Amino acid sequence: MTNHPVTSVTVARAARLLGISLIAVLLAGCGAPGGGGDATATSAAPVRATSEATAPPTADSQPSQEPPTQDPSAAPDGSGQSSGGSGQARTVAPGGTLADGDTVSAELTRAGQKDTFTLDLGGAREFYVADMRCDGGIKVQVIAEIDGKPEGLDNLSLCGGNWVFKLSKAGAHRLEITGDTNVIGPYSFRLATVKVRSFPVKLGLKIGEGSPAGAGRLAAGGEVHRFEFDADGASAIKVLGGAGSCLAIEMELVDAAETSVATARQPIPLCGYELPIALSNGDGRYALVIRSAAAKTGPYSFQLVRSD
């Protein structure tokens, strides 16, 4: 048997080539890993993620930057604040300043002691020293600073009753409290300025609280009311139905030209006096004065009529 080595090699080489080609075809049909070309990997469409958090507001939905308005009814109105100035009476110690309505309750504790008070009367020229109390031997007087001398009578008793002081000198004044020789003890009093109000009226008018306006009541200590009227030919008048603070308030008829009306001259009771009061001149003008000699307050009412 003849051996053909070339043929054998050729056949073997062909077989190897055929095997390689077959493997390549098989690999191509299965898709070789890492193969390129147009083979695009298909991926699922992405799912839009949603958040439970609220999206940030747009410019139109931004809250207002203006400060909140306050309900006027909730705003403080200041009604609880003081209006400024008490307007109430005070208790003043020696060395202090006395004004209308103030009271003093003090004591002379040593022989020769002198207690002084500066007077601030707010422009008034007359005042009451009322509700005076002491055990005896204690005096009161008013001194004008301009000359250091008393206004009116000096060293008046402070132990009971009331005094009316009228200032006649310019400038400041002081009130002094002293004791007789070796006298000591407590004392007290109240100061009230004289406040005169005038009301023009006609005979026949009923006078009471609010008629005329502002009349019918002494509302503050030291108030004096004057009811001016023309006699209109009458020779006498009567005051009928007097009522009110009968023990504290008195009446007095004076000429309308009389301006000093704080001190009583010939007072008559507010209540129960209905006798005729003579007029000196049927063509004159008069004033019926209503006051409290002790600078008290209270209501009053009456009717002023002709007697003839």
Count of all residues that appear for the chain in the document:
308
- Residue type at 7 in one-letter notation: T
Beta carbons of 175 and 83 less than 8 angstroms apart: no
Question: In order of start, what are the domains of the chain with their CATH numbers?
Answer: 97-193 (2.60.120.380), 195-306 (2.60.120.380)
Q: Would you say 169 and 113 are in contact if contact means Cβ atoms under 8 Å apart?
A: no
Q: Give the per-residue pLDDT at 259.
A: 87
DSSP for 44-77 reads PPPPPP--SSPPPPPGGGSPP-SPPPPPGGGS--
pLDDT for residue 87: 53
Nearest residue to 253 (alpha-carbon basis) of 280, 271, 272: 280
For residue 5, whether the previous peptide bond is cis, meaning omega lies within 30 degrees of 0, is no
For the stretch 243-281, pLDDT in tens is 999 999 999 999 999 989 999 899 999 999 999 999 998
Residues lower than pLDDT 50 in the chain: 1-86
Q: Select from 225, 227, 224, 226 the least CA-distant residue to 202.
A: 227
End-to-end CA distance of the chain: 196
The pLDDT assigned to 21 comes to 43
- Residue 64 is predicted with a pLDDT of 38
pLDDT at 9: 38
Sign of CA dihedral 117, 122, 123, 124: negative
Cα gap 303→227, rounded to integer Å: 11
What pLDDT shows up at residue 89?
77
pTM greater than the 0.75 cutoff: no
